[in-house]
């Protein structure tokens, strides 16, 4: 059985593109691939690098890291919204760290 993990839109698009080379995708997979291709903001290599940099900050969960890579927040409130359901109260310095990291990839 495969491992379960959170994947960015860039990874979804890449996985479905690779799969489409081997077989015909289902209509749902085609829609998902099309959606990911239109909505993703970074190519796969940059998305993976940003993900690794954000995980190095050590206070962000995998789920939130994935959302940050997909959304690329540019404002404090954008980051706060992502953490709204977390039990972690973000300090201003943490928000600034996230925004500075994301800024490198814009």
What is the chain's pLDDT, residue by residue, as a tens digit (106 residues)? 468 899 999 999 999 999 999 999 999 999 999 999 999 999 999 999 999 999 999 999 999 999 999 999 999 999 999 999 888 788 999 999 999 999 999 9
* Helices 9-22, 27-39: inter-axial angle, 10-degree rounding: 140
Spans of all domains in the chain: 9-39, 44-103
Enter the CATH code of domain 44-103: 1.10.150
pTM confidence score: 0.91
SS3 52: helix
């Amino acid at each position: 059985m495969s491992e379960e993990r959170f994947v960015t839109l860039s990874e979804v698009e890449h996985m479905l593109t690779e799969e489409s080379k081997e077989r015909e995708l289902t209509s749902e997979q085609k829609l998902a691939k099309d959606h990911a291709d239109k909505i993703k903001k970074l190519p796969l290599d940059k998305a993976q690098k940003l993900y690794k940099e954000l995980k190095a900050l050590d206070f962000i969960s995998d789920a939130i890291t994935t959302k940050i890579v997909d959304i690329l927040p540019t404002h404090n409130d954008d980051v706060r919204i992502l953490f709204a359901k977390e039990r972690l109260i973000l300090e201003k310095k943490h928000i600034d760290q996230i925004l500075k990291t994301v800024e490198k990839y814009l």
